[in-house]
Amino acid sequence: MRTRKFFLYLFLAGMTAGILCLILKKSAWLAHTDLWTADMIEAMSAMSLQSGALFATLLYRRGIRFLGISLLATTYLGSAACFCAAFGCGLAFGVYLASAGIRLGMKGILLALVGMLPQGILYGVLLYGILTWCRKTCAMIYGKDRQALKTPVLMERVLSWSVLLLLLVAGCALESYVNPAILRGIAGRLF
């Protein structure tokens, strides 16, 4: 319970830091980008995607991060990596929402939030699951109780990691096959 709240507080602190950083440095960070401009929204509404290629790209990029945090969990830096990942995800989310809000107002924030559905729900569960998995794995390996390294506990760790990997694949599939149609429909109605 304590770890769950701590991850939430780190995520919220990162989100607040991201929003504040973008508000304070908006002229430097948003000036030379097309992020959330009318041209970007128009292009997004008219785009056609190759969903298979998008799925492969997303799975590769998200899979590398997933494997990286999983491997870091087996080192002494496992707990620190979990805390940094929670803060970093919050920071990215804060910058994402703030940039949409600065450029497009409430419509932009709505578009940004809808742009994260339905895969955002799976990714949220995945983030919490992988952070908890990493924290428990690091505590199991480097904690005082060496009885935790027995076969049933290790099999539970492998099984839970496999479920998290399936969540990652499902999230990438939703993001590449379902989300573009939803995003095009909402962007067309809002703008």
Q: Assess if residue 46 is contained within a domain.
A: no
89 φ/ψ angles, rounded to the nearest 5 degrees? -65, -40
Kindly report which listed range (10-14, 82-86, 151-155) carries the lowest average pLDDT score: 151-155
168 φ/ψ angles, rounded to the nearest 5 degrees? -60, -45
CB atoms within 10 A of CB 10: 21
Looking at residue 141, its pLDDT comes to: 83
Looking at residue 146, its pLDDT comes to: 60
Tell if the pTM clears 0.85, that is, is over it.
yes
Report how far residue 9's alpha carbon sits from residue 89's, in angstroms, rounded to the nearest whole number. 12
Q: Assess if residue 104 is contained within a domain.
A: yes
Mean pLDDT, the chain, whole residue set: 88
Q: pLDDT of 143-184, one tens digit each? A: 776 666 677 777 888 999 999 999 999 999 999 999 888 888
Q: Assess if residue 41 is contained within a domain.
A: no
Number of domains in the chain: 1
Q: Assess if residue 35 is contained within a domain.
A: no
pLDDT bin (cut points 50, 70, 90) of residue 23 is confident
Q: Assess if residue 45 is contained within a domain.
A: no
